[in-house]
Amino acid sequence: MIRKAGSACGQMTIEAMVALPALIAVAVIAVNALLFFDACASFDRQFRLAVTTFATSPAHGEGQGAAMGRVEQSLEQAIDEEYLDTEVSVSGHSPGWITYIGELRFTPTLFGHGFSGSAFGVSLPPIVHRAELTIDPYKPGAIV
């Protein structure tokens, strides 16, 4: 039996509307993945630069708390996006080495706009990326 060409009119439109939510969900995931990878690369570079600049050769009488504050301030200035948050902490080791730990918190967005964390049933929780750098503050410029 042969059908006329106009008998299935609109079939493609219906199929496209059914697939549209899935396509949007995949696009949201892809855009957020790319934003996260970009933010991680920038954070890693800026964190290491800030620690090697401010913490490896502190000023006379400056403690690790002041250096940590300068590192955190430098990161906040370099990474100024509403969906990114940075935090820096310090931990000491036995031979006098100090480890600076930087955390980047990425909150997913809806193509750069506010986002509730779920799109068409797909949940996107915040993601945390960490970077650590151990230094010897008694030897200026020494990175362990």
pLDDT score of 141 more than 70: no
pLDDT: is 9 or 84 the higher one? Answer: 84
Distance in angstroms (rounded) separating the CA atoms of residues 55 and 64: 7
Q: What's phi and psi for 76, nearest 5 deg?
A: -65, -35
pLDDT score of 97 more than 80: yes
pLDDT at position 5: 58
**What is the average pLDDT across 51-59?**
81
**What is the average pLDDT across 26-45?**
92
Q: Confidence class of residue 82 from pLDDT cuts 50, 70 and 90? A: confident
Which CA distances in Å does 98 have to 27, 73, 104, 131? 42, 19, 20, 14
Q: ∠ CA 15-18-22 to the nearest 5 degrees?
A: 120
